[in-house]
Amino acid sequence: MVFEEKRDSLLKQAIDINENGNINSNFEREFFSFVENIIIDMLDREDSFFGQFLVRIERDIRFNISWPLATVPKMQGFKMYFNPMMFLTYDKREMQALFKHEIYHIMYGHHERERILKNKYTTIAVNLALDISINQFIKNLPMDSYKLERVNREYGVDLKEDKPVEVYAEIIEKAIKSKISESMKDEKNDEVGELIDISKAHDVWEESTLNQDSIKDITKKTAISAYNGKAPKDIEGIIKAYSEKAEISWQDALKKVIPSLRAGEKKTIMRRNRRQPERLDLRGTLPNNVPEVIVAIDISASMSDNEFNKILIEVLEITRTRTNKITVIECDNEVRRVYEIKSKNDIKKRYAKVGSTKFSPVFRYIKERKLRNSVLIYFTDGVGEKELEVKPFKNNTIWVLTGDEDLSLEKPYGEIKKITTKAEKGEGGTAGLEMIKEYQREHGRYF
């Protein structure tokens, strides 16, 4: 009864403060002492990681936020705001679940991903998608929290567990538009206002001025210092990935291939122009031995999430090695997506797995765009065609095998390397992105 009595006493004071508008130091001291006792209780149990994480977060009181808790990334670390009027209405287990909710948002990179998602979807759809993507893993949340079952019921959808945030946002967005359309046809339907005026739990995140890298850095620092060997499996995977290193020395590997390749010419003042050597004001040319690097990624259904994770770690190392752009080609039985990356921030989340494995579409893409002098690094489990439909002009391909199989091609037209991965096959989702969340994500069990 000590907890309930203290909570009720603080709630009465909070109501009075909310009416009068003055927060006194005594209330602040009592309230945060109350919060600290809840956190200490978490330190002594299986929730020790969350307790340790919370110890490292600054706290403050704000009656004007529309959710019990809200955490904002600041330059010096994370700052958690409490609305006592709302927070003090829950029991201890619910309060601890709300703490976990905030830390899951942080660990899954939701502060930055929210900014990106809002460029495509409404705030309502984004807020719901972010919350249900993590709430399905948290026990004892308050009844008014949004979970899969509630969203499925209220929006007439059929969302499944453990799916990427983007999938949830897209489906919810369509459901919202459908409901609004139906409501416009029926003037007696008054649900539209309630539908649009949904949770503003993440509005305070907009106060953060930090960029993606800064948020990831403070997340990494806080998580590593809070980790004592115990954490939920998914979060533990994220923490361990902070120390993941590439297995291949890409600087050495690319040096072996690049000197033999030509990538056009570059201007230089050290050589006279061949056509007009008497013109000292005209620059000459030298061979440009810095060809473009193309990274092809096998996204077929045979590629496990663990393999995809390892690929991304290697790709990140390539971006550190190269100063110029890298073109990424995602391919199963056809080229699905092509985009350029210059740094870790440009890496996209995994494209949905569709077909079987074929290598030829990538080589056809390279031939059609006359990229014959590029270095191709092809990540795959090795199971594909025996013979390429489009023959490369040069042996400038580096095959990186992620599985236990050998490369199915009889003639690889290049070098073959291997990286180690766990034997984890199956349908999966986008769980591999959790392991490189430090760099993402765009991710899923895409966070």
Q: 100-125 pLDDT, tens per residue? A: 999 999 999 999 889 899 999 999 99
pTM over 0.75: no
**Confidence band, pLDDT 50/70/90 cuts, at residue 302:** confident
The domain spanning residue 385 has which CATH number? 3.40.50
Look at residue 397 and tell me if it is in a domain. yes
Which tokens belong to 322? Answer: 């190269």
69-74 vs 397-401, strand pairing mode: unpaired
How do residues 64-74 score in pLDDT, each as one tens digit?
Answer: 888 899 999 99
Residue 279: per-residue pLDDT? 61
Look at residue 122 and tell me if it is in a domain. no
Residue 439: per-residue pLDDT? 37
Look at residue 425 and tell me if it is in a domain. yes
Closest listed residue to residue 83, CA positions, set 97, 103, 62? 62
Look at residue 285 and tell me if it is in a domain. yes
Look at residue 162 and tell me if it is in a domain. no
β-bridge mates for residue 294, sequence order: 327, 376
Look at residue 371 and tell me if it is in a domain. yes
Residues in CB range of 204: below 8 A, 6 or more apart = 62, 65, 70, 72, 81
CA atoms of 353 and 304, how far apart (whole Å): 10
Residues in CB range of 394: below 8 A, 6 or more apart = 261, 372, 373, 413
Residue scoring higher pLDDT (86 or 447):
86
**pLDDT for 76 beyond 60:** yes
**Confidence band, pLDDT 50/70/90 cuts, at residue 445:** very low
Percent of the chain with pLDDT over 90: 48
Residue 211: per-residue pLDDT? 85
Q: What's the structural domain count of the chain? A: 1
Look at residue 229 and tell me if it is in a domain. no
Look at residue 140 and tell me if it is in a domain. no
Q: Range of 409's domain?
A: 255-436
**Confidence band, pLDDT 50/70/90 cuts, at residue 81:** very high
Residue scoring higher pLDDT (308 or 209):
209
CA atoms of 17 and 10, how far apart (whole Å): 10
CA atoms of 117 and 127, how far apart (whole Å): 10
How do residues 23-67 score in pLDDT, each as one tens digit?
Answer: 888 999 999 999 999 999 999 778 899 999 999 999 999 998 888
Residue 393: per-residue pLDDT? 75
